[in-house]
């Protein structure tokens, strides 16, 4: 993964579905457009759920990576 800066880190490791997605939505709603959030989670459903959610919004999924049992997402807040 290319090292990318981010404004906020959200650690939802060990939280089970649907909490990682809900916490990500909450964090994005409190951010300003253009900010980047890094989401760390271990729930396998997040690998599918977070990109699917982003596809339905104005946000941009900058990267997603699976490291062993951990999933890392970089999301840029849309308008």
Distance CA 12, CA 47 (A): 13
41 included as an active-site residue: no
The one catalytic residue among 17, 31, 40, 72: 17
Distance CA 65, CA 11 (A): 15
Closest CA to 4 of 28, 51, 36: 36
* Residue 4: strand, helix, or coil: coil
Tell me the catalytic residues.
17
């Amino acid at each position: 993964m290319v090292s990318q800066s981010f404004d906020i880190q959200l650690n939802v490791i060990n939280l089970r579905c649907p909490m990682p997605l809900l916490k990500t939505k909450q964090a994005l709603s409190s951010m300003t457009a253009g900010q980047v959030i890094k989401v760390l989670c271990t729930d396998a459903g997040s690998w599918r759920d977070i990109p699917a959610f982003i596809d339905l919004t104005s946000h941009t999924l900058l990267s997603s990576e699976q490291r062993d049992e951990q999933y890392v997402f970089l999301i840029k807040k849309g308008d």
